[in-house]
Amino acid sequence: MPELPEVETIRKGLAKALENRRIKRVTLRRAGLRSLFPKNFAETLEGRAIRGFRRRAKYILADLEGGYVWLIHLGMSGSFRTLARGHNGAPEKHDHVVIEFDDGTGLAYNDPRRFGQMDVFESAQEATHPALKPIGPEPLERGFDGAVLAERLSGKKTAIKVALLDQRVVAGVGNIYACEALYRAGIDPRRSAHLIKGKNAAALASAIKDVMREALASGGSTLRDHRQLDGSTGYFQHSFDVYGHAGQPCGHCTCQKKSCVRSITQGGRTTFFCPVKQK
């Protein structure tokens, strides 16, 4: 469940459920996810207490006792499930990592498609970690505005929709929120990225912030059967203006058409947009 609002919601759930728990045992139920687990992955986690959970783009970072960071990416289909004290330890299908804490509770990482990723490294290596170093500004942190966005888009000839999915441009935007933000900003997803500047860039930066904040307040979006840690689901999917609405009205434009929302393919992903409102 992977864009910024969903990852942030999961981070909060992990923090609430697991902060200060001590990892007793880590069981890897297959050799790897998107890549192999690093050497000594389980051994490095074992025996350490979790001091807190942070997020950067779509990555969750768990700070471990003794100056280590456990890095997690959920890919397309990763999810966590807490295991109550006295759980029988029987894994479910696609549980790839099972963690037991010293108080008898546990945590299972489940990921059918195995596009997720995990790593562990010393805190001092975080600043230069190859997955983290290239990431662009966090849209919900101070300083992200139209000027910053325009600077990041300058020189990019690719379509603005494709550029928004590049984590070096802005952190945490994925396919849903790229479509929704472009819709709100009234920008055609096919426009060349470097042409988005000035007022357009300001409108787009604002739209990204607004849609992320609103989604966060709704607990993210739940497509298919994805769940939060506690089993609850987000409900921002009910607020989509265009995502998944091809052939339906966008709801806001004045075109009077009953089916203004179109879907096209860009960079191998589906883009939803309203050609009347988005120019």
Partner DNA sequence: CCCACGACCTGCTGGC
Partner DNA sequence: TGCCAGCAGGTCGTGG
Q: Which secondary-structure segment (H or E) carries 9?
A: helix 4-18
Part in contact with DNA (CB under 7 A); list of ranges 21-29, 48-56, 151-159, 206-214: 151-159
Q: Which of 11, 55, 58, 184 is catalytic?
A: 58
| Whether residue 249 lies in the annotated active site | no
Site residues for DNA, window 203-242 (CB under 7 A)? 220-224, 226, 234
Of 9, 6, 100, nearest in space to 46 by CA: 100
* 8 is an active site residue: no
Stretch that binds DNA, among 37-45, 82-90, 160-168, 182-190 (CB under 7 A): 160-168
Does the footprint of DNA cover residue 55 (CB under 7 A)? no
Give the number of residues in contact with DNA, rule: CB under 7 A: 41
Question: CA-based angle 116:117:118, to the nearest 5?
Answer: 135
Residues 6+ apart with CB under 8 A from 30: 96, 114
Of 109, 61, 80, 82, give the one whose Cα is nearest residue 17.
82
Could you tell me the smallest distance in angstroms from the CB atom of residue 79 to DNA?
A: 9
- What amino acid occupies position 147? A
Is 2 among the catalytic positions?
A: yes
List, in order, residues 6 or more apart from 152 with CB less than 8 Å away.
136, 137, 168, 169, 170
DSSP code per residue over 36-60? BPPTTHHHHHTTPBEEEEEEETTEE
Minimal CA–CA distance to 218: which of 198, 240, 196?
Answer: 240
Q: Is 112 in the site for DNA (CB under 7 A)?
A: yes
Catalytic residue among 168, 197, 269, 275: 269
Q: Could you give the string, one character per residue 13-52, with x where binding to DNA holds by CB under 7 A and - elsewhere?
A: ---------------------x------------------
Stretch that binds DNA, among 82-90, 139-147, 174-182, 198-206 (CB under 7 A): 174-182
Position 57 contacts DNA (CB under 7 A): yes
CB of 20 to DNA, least distance (A): 27
Q: Would you count residue 93 as binding DNA (CB under 7 A)? A: yes
Neighbours of 43 (CB within 10 A): 10
| By the rule CB under 7 A, 174 interacts with DNA | yes
Contact 210, 236 (CB under 8 A): no
- Binding track over 237-266 against DNA, x by CB under 7 A: ------------------------------
Q: Does 114 bind DNA (CB under 7 A)?
A: yes
Question: What is each CA distance from 64 to 46, 220, 255, in whole angstroms?
Answer: 10, 27, 54
Tell me the β-bridge partners of 28: 97
Pair of tokens at residue 180 = 């929704």
Residue 19 annotated to the active site: no
Choices 47-55, 70-78, 81-89, 205-213 (CB under 7 A): range interacting with DNA: 70-78
Binding site for DNA (CB under 7 A): 1-3, 6, 34, 57-58, 73, 75-76, 93-94, 112-115, 131, 155-159, 162-163, 165, 167, 174-176, 193, 220-224, 226, 234, 267-270
Residues annotated as catalytic are 2-3, 58, 269
